Structure 1
Amino acid sequence: MVVRVNPAADLLDKDAEPFVEVDPTGRYGRYSDLLGAGATKKVYRAFDQEKGIEVAWNQVKLRGFDDNESMLDRFFAEVRLLGSLKHDNIISFYNWWTDEKNSKLNFITEVCTSGSLRDYRKKHRHVSLKALKKWSRQILRGLEYLHTHEPCIIHRDLNCANVFMNGNSGQVKIGDFGLAATVGENHVAHTILGTPEYMAPELYEEEYTEMVDIYAFGLCLLEIMTMEIPYMECTSITKIYKTVTSGVKPLAMEKVKDPEVKAFIDKCLGKPRARPSASELLQDPFFDGLDDDQ
């Protein structure tokens, strides 16, 4: 059953936190609080009145992209892709619609209570190696689901700002699929996209596979271990490109004192054909002795 609400009545109720807008069904109400913002998308705190839970209201301004068919395709591809994914370590998708009057694409997703993994790690500096391993294992489980999906899905923008935390349960979820690609049987993609610090060397060569996500995962693990964004020593995107394509590891690697952790990260940062798959990494002795967090 869908709960119908009267937004005008809600605005008149002085004891209620007023919604800025509601979706066409009246089920979801958006608050003014901004949870995050990018170049084309803003994410607001919202409420699902039927389930009584907070959700994320993602809003993309379509005005200005009328002549950019590839960008419009990418926006709608993200929505269609999210709607097809169901996994404990992938952000859940609930609904979407277009607001033609205001030229906006809106979609509702799960909200993680503690924000991004990057912010969560900065807030909690004293974390055991066991907990860090459990976080990274959940990221790998999400990647395994994407990479073994039919068709295969390459995230292409995996980094600690696009991985989210439910701090009360320790649950980790991959989000922000705006740059994701579905690929055919050969698993090869060609477009140069991503966050420069996390982009695998082969991404710049415009021919790569899902192994670029494994490389990015290795750098995610490096970041949560050191609390330092990889390649901070590079002062420009050009310098990052030159450093990465010449095979130089980030200086943050020198801060990893545990040889087991360093060796595991090194596996992820190897040459594309030498990198283990997400499924293989999940079987690595690195995770031995952890209790199950599913």
Structure 2
Amino acid sequence: MWSTLDVNTEPLPGYRLIRRLGRGGFGEVWEADAPGGLRKAVKVVPLKRNGSGSDASELDGLRVMRSLRHPYLLSIERFEIVDEHLIIVMELAEQSLADRFADYIRDGRPGIPRDELIGYIREIAEVLDVMNWTHGLQHLDIKPENIFVCSGHIKVGDFGLVRPGNTNVDVNAVALSPPYAAPELFDGRIEQTADQYSLAVTYQELLTGKRPFQAKDVRGLLYQHAMGRPDLSVLSQHDQKIVSRAIHRDPRQRHPSCRDFVDALARVGLGETNSIRRTRSADRRGLLVTREVRPQPMQPKARRVTRHHVPTGTTTAGLGMTRTQAFTTRTGESSNEEWRDSVAALLPTELFAEKLRGFISEHKAKIVESTEEQILLSILDKKWLGLRSSKGWHIQVESCCLNGQSGYRAIDIRIWNDSPKIDGEQRRRTGGQLLQSLKSWLMVVQSGSSPRGPHARSKLLA
């Protein structure tokens, strides 16, 4: 049996891995050569022995969706558990809407042209309404990275969060994407219009490059969704009214269905300045006339490959972690590289402290500084991750309780190395592994992690 995934590995007999398409906290996605000479996408998710977390959520979604057929759903061809790994074989798409958006940005445009985007949103709305009204399901993870393009049409994928609508949900058992999630989800309620909310946020982002709610961290983002006013100024006046209704905080005030939302957008399409440019020129008689010039959609680039997005920085659902995409900040020389991520979790203070203590003990970290909301660590164990030198590695964890009654808190993680003796490749590898390791400790309840050593004095861990 394979121990690590690499080119030419066969996680299932006859499925030979060709190229990695994405990797994150949930696992890896590869392009594979399948039996019969077909190309497929293969997702490999390591399972936890206690059966909790992201793997349980993924299995639940697969069981629900495997019997549902629709031309705008990314088809799941098979899934099996092999040696504590969940292997999912999926249809191979051309690109995601996030990739499509990036193509237009590189071409100097603000986003996907409105006419093209309305076509995509209409197909997404159709399949979401089928899931909702025919099967009583909500996708709960609609965002550009989870929507794919095949031959000019949409394929909605990533079914790890699919749940019945009009029900309550244990926030400890789902992993939401804060920039797109409807606010009632954080209160444990799944309404029938939850996906419509995410679809409206996705529409504005792909059209203009800006979301209705923006903040520097998860804490601010959750506050914006719950209390702030959405910034719709980048939209036309007609679109502002329609999107504003779709992201209304009261689920009952939103459009009756996703299709109604898209139909409202399409009805005002002829007057949209986002998609139409008016020009004046002379006709055959020499008279000035006004013509409307609609931008033509970009043609897909040759030899474009799939990007089934598995977000880096994705957290698990084990304790209600929500997820955002990790990012790397480069401020000059390689010694200034930083690895950052922000997560939100239902973690009471005692449980959060226990998890952090376990991480500190396992990695022989030293507490450099600690306050009520922030702790600064340095890594001392040279053997961990095969470090030749542990000098210079620092981890800063900032935590703020957003809701004192529920224990819901925002956690910001920052990792960097200030030693010039570590080469760039080792720094990049270790920084990413440290980030994933810390998040893994926060995701899963650890046993046998008790206060010991100097970290027992930490105010944050008190």
In the superposition, the TM-score normalised over structure 2's length comes to 0.51
Match of 1:276 in 2: 255
Q: 2:65 aligns with which of 61, 74, 82?
A: 82
Quote the Cα distance in structure 1 between the aligned partners of 2:181 and 2:8: 39
Alignment equivalent of 2:147, drawn from 152, 163, 167: 163
Question: 1:282: Cα distance to partner?
Answer: 6.1
Query: Of 107, 127, 151, which aligns to 1:142?
Result: 127
Percent identical pairs in the alignment equals 22
1:131 Cα shift? Answer: 0.8
Are residue 204 (structure 1) and residue 186 (structure 2) matched?
yes
- Please report how far the alpha carbon of residue 139 of structure 1 lies from its aligned counterpart in structure 2 after TM superposition: 1.1
Counterpart code for 1:196? P
Q: Does 1:105 align with 2:86?
A: yes
Tell me the residue number matched to 2:156. Answer: 174
Other-structure match for 1:122: 102
Paired position in structure 1 for 2:16: 29
Shift of 1:230: 4.7
Three-state SS of the structure 1 residue aligned to 2:168 is coil
241, 263, 277: which one aligns with 2:241: 263
- Could you say what the CA RMSD is over the residues aligned between the two structures, in angstroms? 2.3
Q: How many residues are treated as equivalent by the alignment?
A: 254
> Residues 163 and 78 (structure 1 numbering): CA distance in 2 closer, same or farther, change over 3 Å?
same
Residue type of the alignment partner of 2:125: L
Q: Distance in 1 between matches of 2:146 and 2:123?
A: 14
Deviations 1:74-94 (A, max 9, x none): 232132233122111111111
Deviation at 1:214, TM superposition (A): 0.7
1:204-259: CA deviation from partner (whole Å, max 9, x where unpaired): 22123131111111001011111234533x1111111111101421x3x2111x22
Contact 2:141 2:176 in 1 (8 A): yes
Contact 1:79–1:107 under 8 Å retained in 2: no
More strand by share: 2
Unaligned runs of 5+ in 1: 1-17
Kindly state the Cα deviation for residue 118 of structure 1 after the two structures are TM-superposed. 1.4
CA apart distance, 1:283: 7.1
CA–CA separation in structure 2 for the residues paired with 1:71 and 1:164? 22
RCO higher in structure (CA 8 A, sep ≥6): 2
Distance 1:153 1:211 in 2: 11
Is the Cα–Cα contact under 8 Å of residues 137 and 282 in structure 1 kept in the other structure?
no
Counterpart secondary structure, 2:190? coil
Kindly indicate whether the alpha-carbon contact (under 8 Å) linking 1:30 and 1:45 is maintained by their aligned counterparts in 2.
yes
Say whether the 8 Å CA contact 1:198–1:230 is kept in structure 2. no
With structure 1 as the length reference, what TM-score do the two structures score? 0.78
Q: 1:84 to 1:106 in 2, by over 3 A?
A: same
Q: Which ranges of structure 2 fall in alignment gaps of 5 or more residues?
A: 1-6, 270-462
C-alpha distance 128-235 of structure 1, shift in aligned 2 (>3 A): closer
Aligned to 1:217: 199
SS of the counterpart of 1:231?
A: coil
